[in-house]
């Protein structure tokens, strides 16, 4: 399948835990996904949400909410303009402000429950091992 139609596969490296795979999906929020792909790799320290975590993005994307969602599901990846951050969800939660869904975790997202605040996370383009 053409990755331009399906999305961009990513690796999520979690300090002290390992790595999981994800997918940025263009159809969910085309402008936001393209902007995120251009700034890969994204590295930062995790902050915790109830049901997920977020990583502040060191660069302002200048994008508002695209196809806003307030109830991301388990395994969703979202861009949260309010915090200029990328969110990874291991449970379905209700957000106080909407975000743009940009993809999903391909592996079991429950591994994210082990992440503690301050854990270093790097999101990069996927490459086969």
Q: Is residue 29 part of a domain?
A: yes
d(CA 80, CA 65): 8
Check: CB of residue 100 under 8 Å from CB of residue 34. Answer: no
User: How many Å apart are CA 112 and CA 99, to the nearest integer?
Assistant: 19
CATH number of the domain that 13 lies in? 2.40.100.20
Q: pTM for this one? A: 0.92
Return the structure tokens found at 23: 């997918």
Q: Which domain holds residue 42?
A: 8-125
Q: Are 45 and 55 in contact (CB under 8 A)?
A: yes
Total of domains in the chain? 1
pLDDT tens across the length of the chain (129 residues): 445 457 899 999 999 999 999 999 999 999 999 999 999 999 999 999 999 999 999 777 777 899 999 999 999 999 999 999 999 999 999 999 999 999 999 999 999 999 999 999 999 999 876
Residues 86 and 79 sit within 8 Å (Cβ to Cβ): yes
In this structure, is residue 1 part of a structural domain?
A: no
CA distance 125 to 21: 10
Identify whether 66 is part of a domain. yes
């Amino acid at each position: 399948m053409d990755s331009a139609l399906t999305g961009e596969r990513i690796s999520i490296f979690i300090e002290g835990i390992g790595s999981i795979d994800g997918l940025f999906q263009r159809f969910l929020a085309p402008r936001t996904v393209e902007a995120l792909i251009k700034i890969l790799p994204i590295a930062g320290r995790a902050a915790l949400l109830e049901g997920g975590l977020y990583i502040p993005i060191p660069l302002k994307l200048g994008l508002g909410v695209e196809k806003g969602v307030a109830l991301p599901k388990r395994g969703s990846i979202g861009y949260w303009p309010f915090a200029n951050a990328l969110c990874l969800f291991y449970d379905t939660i209700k957000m106080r402000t909407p975000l743009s869904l940009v993809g999903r975790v391909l592996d079991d997202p429950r591994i994210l429950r082990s992440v503690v605040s301050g854990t270093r996370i790097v999101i990069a383009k996927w490459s086969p091992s």
